[in-house]
Structure 1
Amino acid sequence: MSWAQCTCFFSRNIFVRSLSMTFEYFGDESFLTTYKSFLHKLKVTDDKIDEILAEVRRESSDRRFESIRSLERKVNIVKHYTPLSRTSFVLSADDYQPLVANLLRKMKQRRFEMDEVFSLLEPVPELQEVYTLPLLTTACLRRLNAELDAFLASGLPASRPNTMNRQGILLCELPGHLARAHPETPSDPGGADVDLISQGLLSSVGPVSLRCLLQLIFPDIGGKIDSYRAFTVEYEGPAAVDLETTMDSGLSYHYDNAELTINICLRLQKSGDRSFDSAVTMPVDEDAAGGEICFAHPDPHWIMEEPCPPAALVPNQPGWALLHRGSHVHGAQPLAPGYVRRNLIIWLRSTSVRNSHSPCPRCHLRPQIVPLPYWLNGQVVEGKLPPSDQHVITSGFGDGFWLDSLPSQSASLLTQ
């Protein structure tokens, strides 16, 4: 029994930033046969096509080893990084906005009215199943940002958050509260992502959880989430951004490899002001800051035609969460010069969907899955997960597929 990923990750949806387009790679000859004439129609020269081919080939090769490299980075981080607090990512009821915390308690006890829900949960006009919610307190944002800033300042190598964003942190690579930094037998059966989500946002035993809310607004899937991929993304206004830099200003249209997505703004402030307290107490002009989340179409098979104005723009507000289906095509508008933004993205997944002979949500084909590796007693191992009392380090849940069978209560971390 093991978490697994679809092999389409190795060869499909390879993003080329210079064209804001995605490509597939099944060898040089196949690539040129598929794309050369099309790129010529876009006035792309042969020399540029050679550059694009080299970029796509390199990315495809890197992806084949990414799960192992991510695991090796996690081992290195567990050994050498000392968090500001072992429980920075463990959420308590006090970390939620009081009105939201009270509503979530009542929802778990089934003592709520629908009017109460929609007095806090705001549907986005003109969009289907897209909602915003004032979720986390200023104190919680301060703690999370301080821990994330401390890790970035450590200089330890970390993975890209996803295949499109260049800056951010995979929370599965950060140590969880159960991590042990023994030099020879380090261990971490979870990670910061497990602390934040399994024991916080989607806890099945805690007094405050989004689980009941997701079941209400997404009744077909909200109660079936059993894995996730959580990461931060960093944006900076375009004055200091171009194709040669490592910072992003905005993000092209895409859909998420997720059944549901939670997007929480952790920071939006002037780039010269690194004081989070002042960024909260002095509200940012959202219209001036830019960086809105732009939604285009609810169907991932939709083909974008240029120019295409978004159906709706959703501004970023620190502490607010944006909830939507992962299949809803969306992007991020460019951030205005002089501003920085940090968001926490959580892709929620369900094995009841992914192991049900349905197409892979990323490639829309029959999934071809391979097990996710883990670290055990000093070496990388693939296959059945060992008992939790072993010196094991895991890094995430792959694509949310479960190899051999659906997760039992002991296997699914969301039952903790």
Structure 2
Amino acid sequence: MATAGRSRRFCRCACFCSENLYVARYGLHLRFRSEPQLRRDYGPILRSRGCVRAQDFQQLVAELEQEVERRRRLGQESAARKALIASSYRPARPDVYGSLQDTALAPEFLAAAEYSASPGADLKGLLQRLQTVSEEKRIYRVPVFTVPFCQALLEELEHFEQSDMPKGRPNTMNHYGTAVGASWTATGPLWSNTRRARTASWAVTTITPSSPSMWPWARPSRGAPCSLGASSR
């Protein structure tokens, strides 16, 4: 943990540079550490999907090595991008960068957060406050942000997307995601400064995005607060 007066240290899991490397033309997420390991672990399935010739395999290896190198450079590139954005970017909606207020949070989420901090709270009680998507698969959802806050966030994201600022794309979300260079500066205070940050922590650990339509920046054109999927696992 960083301490006052010292530069902050950022760490990443070593597996980030070797796991979950997506190859679109074969429709596979691969683990890559070496050519022998790749042949051993994925040889049969790669051949079944068209990676038959030696040049096909060598092209795949080259692509994986390129992606690994890209991931290794992300830290330095992100720091440079963050510095440039912090000094040059002018947000369209500065209000979304302030401390997150209760008015930005959906009543259903606030109720779930309050319950999770109450004496005797348990998973069963929490799930009763969520909408059931699939009982069999234990998939649930709960609105997190209000429509006005989502609209403001969308305006800011679209403004940033249309600017000439450098954009980082998060892994395989290159078509629909963007990583704002100052993302930690922007989003860190939103949650850490909220008085419910601790009381809602248990509820939040059960919440995971389950489809594009449930992401908080999904367009709220259907007249309902944007939601995040929740799994009880």
> What TM-score bracket applies, with the shorter chain setting the length?
0.7 to 0.9
Structure 1 residue 113, shift from structure 2 partner: 10
Please list, as runs of the form range in 1=range in 2, the aligned pairs for 1:360-375 lying within 5 A after superposition.
none
In 2, distance between residues paired with 1:26 and 1:102?
Answer: 46
In 2, distance between residues paired with 1:265 and 1:72?
Answer: 27
Which residue number corresponds to residue 192 of structure 2? 198
Gaps of 5+ in 2: 2-8
1:265 aligns with 2:211: no
In 1, distance between residues paired with 2:61 and 2:145?
Answer: 44
1:320 aligns with 2:227: yes
Gaps of 5+ in 1: 176-189, 215-221, 223-259, 270-275, 282-316, 329-416
In 1, distance between residues paired with 2:48 and 2:32?
Answer: 20
Which residue of 75, 82, 96 maps to 2:105?
96
Structure 1 residue 262, shift from structure 2 partner: 3.0
Structure 1 residue 21, shift from structure 2 partner: 0.8
In 2, distance between residues paired with 1:114 and 1:37?
Answer: 42
Please list, as runs of the form range in 1=range in 2, the aligned pairs for 1:2-401 lying within 5 A after superposition.
2-28=9-35, 30-32=37-39, 35-36=42-43, 38-46=45-53, 47-89=55-97, 90-102=99-111, 104-105=113-114, 108=117, 110=119, 117-123=126-132, 124-128=134-138, 130-161=139-170, 163-167=171-175, 168-170=177-179, 173-174=181-182, 190-200=184-194, 203-204=197-198, 210-214=200-204, 222=205, 261-263=207-209, 264-266=214-216, 268=218, 279-281=221-223, 318-324=225-231
* Counterpart AA for 1:210: A
* Identical positions, percent: 18
* Counterpart AA for 1:126: E
Does the 8 Å CA contact 1:158/1:169 hold for their aligned counterparts? yes
Structure 1's 39 and 212: CA in aligned 2 closer, same or farther, altered over 3 A? closer
Structure 1 residue 151, shift from structure 2 partner: 0.8
In 1, distance between residues paired with 2:114 and 2:40?
Answer: 57
Does the 8 Å CA contact 1:36/1:49 hold for their aligned counterparts? no
Please identify which structure carries the higher helix content: 2
In 2, distance between residues paired with 1:11 and 1:95?
Answer: 38
Structure 1 residue 92, shift from structure 2 partner: 0.8
The CA RMSD measured in Å over matched residues stands at: 3.4
Does the 8 Å CA contact 1:268/1:318 hold for their aligned counterparts? no
In 2, distance between residues paired with 1:202 and 1:19?
Answer: 44
Structure 1's 7 and 104: CA in aligned 2 closer, same or farther, altered over 3 A? closer
In 2, distance between residues paired with 1:34 and 1:53?
Answer: 14
Structure 1 residue 81, shift from structure 2 partner: 0.8
Q: Secondary structure at the match of 1:132?
A: strand
In 1, distance between residues paired with 2:38 and 2:202?
Answer: 46
Structure 1's 30 and 191: CA in aligned 2 closer, same or farther, altered over 3 A? same
Query: Which fold has the larger relative contact order, with Cα–Cα distance below 8 Å and residues 6 or more apart in sequence?
Result: 1
Structure 1 residue 35, shift from structure 2 partner: 4.2
Count matched residues: 218
TM-score between both structures, scaled by the size of structure 2 = 0.75
Task: Render the CA deviation track for 1:120-172: whole Å, top value 9, x for unaligned.
Answer: 312431023x32112221111111111111111113122222x322131235x
In 2, distance between residues paired with 1:111 and 1:12?
Answer: 39
Q: Secondary structure at the match of 2:158?
A: helix
Structure 1's 93 and 33: CA in aligned 2 closer, same or farther, altered over 3 A? closer
In 2, distance between residues paired with 1:63 and 1:113?
Answer: 39
TM-score between both structures, scaled by the size of structure 1 = 0.45
* Counterpart AA for 2:226: G
